[in-house]
Amino acid sequence: MYIPENYKSSLDLLHTEYAIKLVKDTFERRLAQHLSLTRVSAPLMVRQDSGLNDNLNGYERPITFTARDLEGEMEIIHSLAKWKRMALKNYGIRRFKGIYTDMNAIRRDESLDNLHSIYVDQWDWEKVVEREDRNIEFLKGTVDRIMKAIIDTEEAIRRNYPELDIIVKQPDVFYITSKELYEMYPDLTAKEREIKIVKEKKTVFIMQIGDVLPDGLPHDGRAPDYDDWQLNGDLLFWYDILNTAVEISSMGIRVDSKSLLYQLEKSNNMDRINLPFHKALLNNELPLTMGGGIGQSRLCMLLLNKAHVGEVQASVWPQDMIEICHRNNIELL
């Protein structure tokens, strides 16, 4: 855990709750407006044999359970990356329109710190594109529209809470691929490269994450069956309170049948081709889409100048972390 020197939140617990609601209400309206999205309901769990759960980096263990009136096992979702694509087909959504939802997940294998909780809350969004939209410029244009929604939300917070510091110090996003970043700092680790570039540029979108770099390692882990590794990325801000780069969103243009096969083979996951989701995708039965997740608690944390994600979400923490927070004016919800 990182403890900022002489930290004290500008907002007490009650005003923090007021401000959290303002952030969430404002941002989801602006996101829907800028990306032409409609809100839908989403599941907390999916069938284990559906292939719809997000496998994340491949080692995280989903929470599984059985139910009295259902056959087989269910899994608490890690994210809705694949479910949303099925939903777009079922709703009959057309080009440039899409959906968003409140995604609530439990990730039992997270390492808990200032930014990470086992409880994950995101705005998950997905929209339909056509083949000619599957390019880097279209991806960048979408990131710019998400930035407009974030800036709109920060302006609303500043009007109501002028005592809070501005977080989006650079509204113009600096775009760089993971390979270009590696070539700039080949002697640093991936995390160190992120921190160095984001500290300099303030607002950065690192593209093309998942495939291996010249050192034989990916910049970061990505499941092989939702983002196209050549058309995805992470949006990061520099955060002075924690003196580090903070990822707000992971997103991308999704795999088509060709990139799905390449990425499954590259990651040794060809056994997934027999799952219902993957069969539908390989048979071109699903629309071409792009989408992502935007951290609700992360965004609240930054815009409200908090030092710990537990100041903007109610979760479970180790006892020693609770005590450290209490001693350092970090009020966990």
Catalytic residue numbers, as ranges: 54, 107, 122, 234, 247, 250
Tell the residue number behind the tokens 């994600």, with chain if given. 309
Distance CA 172, CA 117 (A): 29
Query: Which residue, among 119, 135, 10, 146, has the nearest Cα to 63 in the 3D structure?
Result: 119
DSSP 8-state class, residue 178: H
Query: Which residue, among 100, 152, 99, has the nearest Cα to 123 in the 3D structure?
Result: 100
Distance CA 205, CA 1 (A): 25
Distance CA 122, CA 44 (A): 12
237, 245 Cβ separation under 8 angstroms: yes
3-state secondary structure at position 182: helix
Rounded to 10 deg, the angle between the 296-303 and 136-160 helix axes is: 50
Distance CA 130, CA 125 (A): 17
Query: Which residue, among 27, 209, 1, 2, has the nearest Cα to 122 in the 3D structure?
Result: 27
Distance CA 167, CA 184 (A): 26
248, 297 Cβ separation under 8 angstroms: no
Among left, alpha and beta (phi > 0; psi -120 to 50; other), residue 216 is left
DSSP 8-state class, residue 15: H
- The dihedrals phi and psi of 154, each to the nearest 5 degrees, come to -65, -40
One-character DSSP codes across 226-275: SEEEEEEEEEEEEETTTTEEEEEEEEEEEP-HHHHHHHHHHTT-GGGGGS
